[in-house]
Amino acid sequence: MHKIHAAITAVDAYVPDYILTNHELEGMVDTNDEWITTRTGIKERRILKGEGLGTSYMAVHAVNGLLKKRGIDASEIDLIVFCTSTPDYIFPASANVLADKIGAVNAWGFDLQAACSGFVFGLTTGAQFIESGKHKKVLVVGGDKMSSIINYKDRTTCIIFGDGCGAVLLEPNYEGYGVVDSILKSDGSGAPFLHLKAGGSVKPASHESVDAAEHAVHQEGKAVFKFAVTNMADVSAEIMEKNNLTPEDIAWLVPHQANKRIIDATANRMGVGSDKVMVNIERYGNTTNGTIPLCLWEWESKLKKGDNIILAAFGGGFTWGSVFLKWAY
């Protein structure tokens, strides 16, 4: 009996229509296109407008597209792993909300919270249920409505983040395609540098917390940058070494899109040329859990069966990790 690998067999995504450009941000905070472009690589990001629309709204679009592409019904889904830092509610889980909206009547599910590393954590988690033989169809969704937790008066964060959501389907593969390996790490001492101060059980919402904008992302950018640039590069090099991969063996690097300079440093460390690196940060900014599936979605037509792909992420917490997979179609 061959080992079961968890292969991605379909991918789709959704980004909202509204485009928030650097130019528009110049009218909102003291910033300019040149600063944003050179420091981050971002030109524009998408914003989900509309009363009562949360992250699951985007996930419904992404997953319905995926199901159509794969030609399967939502009732065939066994499990939904919804990776998000901006769930519709603290509870119930957005996985449940999504299951109800798409008609995944036979699925169970849960939300996974690992900030910007959520998708690599979620993919690894979902893969376990395929590899063990427990499930045949697992949806891994990664998405965030970051605009719901951004203070648009804080120029250090509002220029970075955007809204978007992607999803992949994992199914068993018996030919060696799919997720081969992953390295996941976390360091809770990084929490003060990137977090939401209020809204959790430590500091529930109050008039004071709202007035102090403590329900919005707090980031000490320089400190996070230092950790991100080292750890994302290290964990990507580590997974190459562990699997005896040379730069020539790698078809694509799919990095979390937080900062073009962090992406470049990771690619340099791996010895991978820019022609093999998926980058769309200029159009979507940092969509947190959405960045990696949005890349897979945009590059899907260029991917070939057997391509060696490295996913890499770094996020709040701190959390970071890499996944090595062989593309299955």
Q: Give catalytic residue positions.
A: 116, 256, 286
* Farthest-apart Cα atoms in the chain, separation: 62
Cα separation, 64 vs 45, in Å, equals 23
Tokens of 242: 């562990």
Q: Interface residues for ligand UT7 in 75-114 (CB under 6 A)?
A: none
Under the binding rule (CB under 6 A), the answer on residue 258 touching ligand UT7 is yes
Q: Which is nearer to ligand UT7, 42 or 245 (CB)?
A: 42
Under the binding rule (CB under 6 A), the answer on residue 42 touching ligand UT7 is no
Reference 99, options 55, 56, 39; nearest CA is: 56
Here's the x/- map for ligand UT7, 151-170, by CB under 6 A: it reads as ----xx--x-----------
Q: Interface residues for ligand UT7 in 220-249 (CB under 6 A)?
A: 221-222, 224-225, 228
Cα separation, 323 vs 244, in Å, equals 14
3-state secondary structure of 79: strand
Q: Which is nearer to ligand UT7, 126 or 190 (CB)?
A: 190
Closest residue to ligand UT7 in the complex (CB): 221
User: In angstroms, what is the minimal distance from the CB of 320 to ligand UT7?
Assistant: 9
Cα separation, 145 vs 288, in Å, equals 9
Among 40, 94, 236, 322, binds ligand UT7 (CB under 6 A): 40
Here's the x/- map for ligand UT7, 288-317, by CB under 6 A: it reads as --------------------------xxx-
142, HSE (Cβ side, Cα atoms, 13 Å): 30
Cα separation, 40 vs 248, in Å, equals 28
User: In angstroms, what is the minimal distance from the CB of 239 to ligand UT7?
Assistant: 19
**CB of 246 within 8 A of CB of 317?**
no
Under the binding rule (CB under 6 A), the answer on residue 172 touching ligand UT7 is no
Residues 6+ apart with CB under 8 A from 241: none
Q: Footprint of ligand UT7 on this chain (CB under 6 A)? A: 31, 35, 39-40, 116, 155-156, 159, 221-222, 224-225, 228, 258-259, 262, 286, 314-316
